[in-house]
Amino acid sequence: MRYPARELAWLWRELRIGVPVAFGVASFFAIMLREPFGRSLAYSLCITMTIQVLVEVGRYGLLRGLPDTSAGAAPGAPATPRRWPDWKWMSAWIVVSGVAGYFGGHAIGDVLTGGHGTLSELMGNPRGLLLSMTVVLVLSLGISYFHYVRGRIAAAEARAQAAMRSAAENQLRLLESQLEPHMLFNTLGNLRVMIGQDPQRAQVMLNQVISFLRATLQASRSGPHPLSCEFDRIADYLALMQVRMGARLQIELDLPAGLANLPVPPLLLQPLVENAIKHGLEPIVAGGWIKVTARREGGTLVLGVRDTGVGLSELPPGSDCFGTAQVRERLAQLYGKAASFQLLAAGDNDGGTLAVVRLPLS
């Protein structure tokens, strides 16, 4: 049976715990059975290490037929142990390893210490044998469960790092979507026309473009920022869109002063606002309005993006897949089940779509 170097390293780390356990067991028997500590320590080390070797060999042996989920890990990813077999098999093997390891380790201890007949003496002492086997089995199950829990924690940490990498990739994808060529080309085209017709207005628009691009690049590389900054970036983007769409686009931003400093993930609402413009309002000749709001509901921050566009029923399949998927993924990675996202049909006569994001305030 061949073990990869990573698994051998984990095996060695797991075997090392047998040393302090052996010291504890030796101290226990030295006190309870009044045996010399050095002799008890030698036998404890032999028995403990033999049991652990048998448990680990059985563990990896049972896993040989299962796919190794860590085999395809990306370079630089944290090394994690392979998962445990089904506990109904592993528990039985731990009991077998405890019994076999006890007698095998005791025999090795006889050889190392020069003891003769100690095992037969122990067999003739049912009370001592029962005490020894009880301690051995309890420790075997306890140590195995400790390694199992530690492996689960290591796997959770690996998943957390993978989620962080995924979040970084999502931010890059979001940045690409925000700087997509058609938006920039249309904006620059409008600027070129405006420079000849209204230089002062063109200067204002150019400042907005610069502000939007700088803020977007900074936000994509930063952690949580105040909600007021999120609204400022949305205002910059909508100002550019308003230059393109003119009177067809009406804008309303509603941010209560008491919520302005609350931390939120950067660029969280941006894809929802882009979806509202691109898929909701631009297809309508007459245009419409978009409203971005923030309010508090108990311990929850509720963010809304409402438009009076074509509505969900008129959207082509998958048209808003990236924006909504990106928001859902980020919320799940950052808040788990404590946050939520809904995309709803507006329930009034104005029609359109309502996107609602709920974040925990704590």
State pLDDT tens for residues 155-189: 778 777 777 777 666 665 665 555 555 567 767 88
Q: Does residue 146 contact residue 17 with C-beta atoms inside 8 Å?
A: yes
Per-residue confidence (pLDDT) for residue 176, from 0 to 100: 54
> Helix, strand, coil % (nearest 5) of the chain?
65, 10, 25
Q: Is 94 helix (H, G, I), strand (E, B) or coil?
A: helix
**Confidence class of residue 69 from pLDDT cuts 50, 70 and 90?**
very low
- Residue with more model confidence, 19 or 255: 255
**Confidence class of residue 78 from pLDDT cuts 50, 70 and 90?**
very low
**Confidence class of residue 302 from pLDDT cuts 50, 70 and 90?**
very high
Residue ranges of the chain assigned to CATH 3.30.565.10: 179-360
CB atoms within 10 A of CB 125: 12
Whether CATH 3.30.70.3270 fits 179-360: no
pLDDT at 10 over 70: no
Per-residue confidence (pLDDT) for residue 6, from 0 to 100: 54
Q: Is 360 helix (H, G, I), strand (E, B) or coil?
A: strand
Per-residue confidence (pLDDT) for residue 239, from 0 to 100: 86
Per-residue confidence (pLDDT) for residue 362, from 0 to 100: 72
**Surface-to-core class of residue 80, CB atoms within 10 Å of its CB (0-12 exposed, 13-18 middle, 19+ buried):** buried
**Confidence class of residue 260 from pLDDT cuts 50, 70 and 90?**
very high
Per-residue confidence (pLDDT) for residue 70, from 0 to 100: 43
pLDDT per residue as tens digits for the range 95-129: 888 888 878 887 887 777 776 555 566 666 677 66
**Confidence class of residue 315 from pLDDT cuts 50, 70 and 90?**
low
- Residue with more model confidence, 323 or 306: 306
pLDDT per residue as tens digits for the range 226-252: 999 999 889 988 988 887 788 899 999
**Confidence class of residue 292 from pLDDT cuts 50, 70 and 90?**
very high
Contacts of 307 (CB under 8 A, 6+ apart): 276, 277, 280, 281, 288, 289, 290, 291, 352, 353
pLDDT per residue as tens digits for the range 321-347: 567 887 888 888 788 889 999 999 887
The b/e string for 259-284 (b: 16+ C-beta within 10 A; e otherwise) is beebebbbbbbbbbbbbbbbbbbbeb
Per-residue confidence (pLDDT) for residue 258, from 0 to 100: 94
258: its two tokens: 């008491």
pLDDT per residue as tens digits for the range 128-163: 667 777 777 777 777 777 767 777 787 778 777 777
When the pLDDT of each residue in the chain is averaged and rounded to a whole number, the result is 76
Share of the chain above pLDDT 70, in %: 69
**Residue 174 to residue 186: CA distance in whole angstroms:** 19
